[in-house]
């Protein structure tokens, strides 16, 4: 299968490219320089020229805090850009797999969110990603929407790398302990995405590492797995105020994965161990 990956230079995109190749597919990666998703004519031209059978649309505006003031750009990329990709996919009959986020929920739940629970984003980022979901599902007849959370991988910056860098300073650390979610290793997520686009089981999916934890518990696990002795203390979200509100609880239930016959992603701690084996000891990307 020929698969086009947008945002191929990003943290997730690079692993999707690798997993596509491992699965025997022809992965064609494009980044911003090669495809401006905000330009509808460019999207149509590129897809008509390359004729992919499926598109994994991972390109996005992901600066969560900056989006609170850069509203138009967040919507231009996450909403209009996704609309353009959906329209281009529909023109050539390609499957469109849109990567979304736990931020489409308000975080007030006490149990994992289902795929068809009411979305009520509180941040501009979450609202713009939900707009992208709605445009993809209304403009393309062969669509997958995959919501994920707390993503980390070898490529790019992420929470795990930040914690390892901070641990190296030897200073005491405080990490938020009142936000709960599910860390997701990009390789595990990429394997699911590639399996998904091989099928015609369209719809909304939640794909995250199994189980859940707080950011503080995640940090503690990182240090335990690395064998690091770090003075670590829990704190509240209020002690580290940010422009964009974070969901206090954003655990995503995986009913669609199970009912459609797919295998759930490994537990988040298994994903962390696999990631740390791949990450160089100095914490840098490959």
Give how far the C-alpha of residue 78 lies from the chain's centroid of Cα atoms, to the nearest Å.
13
Residue 28: strand, helix, or coil: strand
**How far, in Å, are 144, 150, 182, 195, 251 from residue 176 at the CA level?**
33, 14, 14, 34, 16
Q: Are 144 and 97 in contact (CB under 8 A)?
A: yes
Distance between CA 171 and CA 45 in Å, rounded? 52
Active site residues: 125
Of the candidates 151, 186, 139, 1, the one whose C-alpha atom is nearest the C-alpha of residue 62 is 151
**Which are the contacts of 82, defined by CB distance < 8 A and separation ≥ 6?**
37, 57, 98, 131, 132, 133, 135, 136
């Amino acid at each position: 299968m020929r698969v086009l990956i947008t945002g191929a230079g990003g943290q997730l995109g690079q692993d999707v490219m690798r997993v596509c190749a491992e699965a025997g597919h022809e992965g064609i990666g494009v980044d911003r320089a090669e495809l401006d998703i905000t330009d509808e004519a460019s999207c149509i031209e590129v897809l008509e020229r390359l004729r992919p059978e499926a598109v994994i649309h991972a390109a996005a505006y992901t600066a969560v805090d900056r989006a609170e003031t850069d509203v138009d750009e967040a919507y231009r990329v996450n909403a209009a850009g996704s609309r353009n990709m959906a329209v281009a996919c529909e023109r050539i009959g390609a499957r469109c797999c849109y990567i979304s986020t736990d931020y489409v929920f308000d975080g007030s739940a006490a149990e994992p969110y289902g795929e068809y629970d009411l979305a009520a984003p509180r941040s501009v980022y979450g609202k713009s990603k939900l707009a992208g979901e709605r445009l993809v599902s209304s403009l393309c007849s062969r669509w997958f929407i995959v919501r994920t959370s707390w993503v980390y991988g070898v490529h790019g910056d992420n929470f795990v790398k930040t914690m390892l860098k901070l641990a190296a300073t030897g200073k005491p650390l405080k990490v938020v302990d009142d936000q709960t979610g599910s860390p997701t290793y990009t390789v595990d997520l990429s394997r699911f995405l590639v399996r998904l686009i091989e099928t015609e089981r369209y719809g909304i999916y939640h794909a995250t590492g199994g189980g859940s934890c707080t950011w503080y518990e995640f940090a503690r696990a990182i240090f335990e797995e690395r064998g690091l002795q770090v003075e670590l203390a829990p704190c509240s979200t209020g002690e580290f105020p940010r422009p964009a509100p974070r969901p206090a609880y954003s655990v995503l239930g995986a009913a669609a994965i199970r009912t459609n016959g797919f295998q759930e992603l490994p537990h988040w701690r298994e994903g962390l161990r696999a990631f740390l084996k791949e990450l160089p000891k100095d914490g840098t990307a490959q």
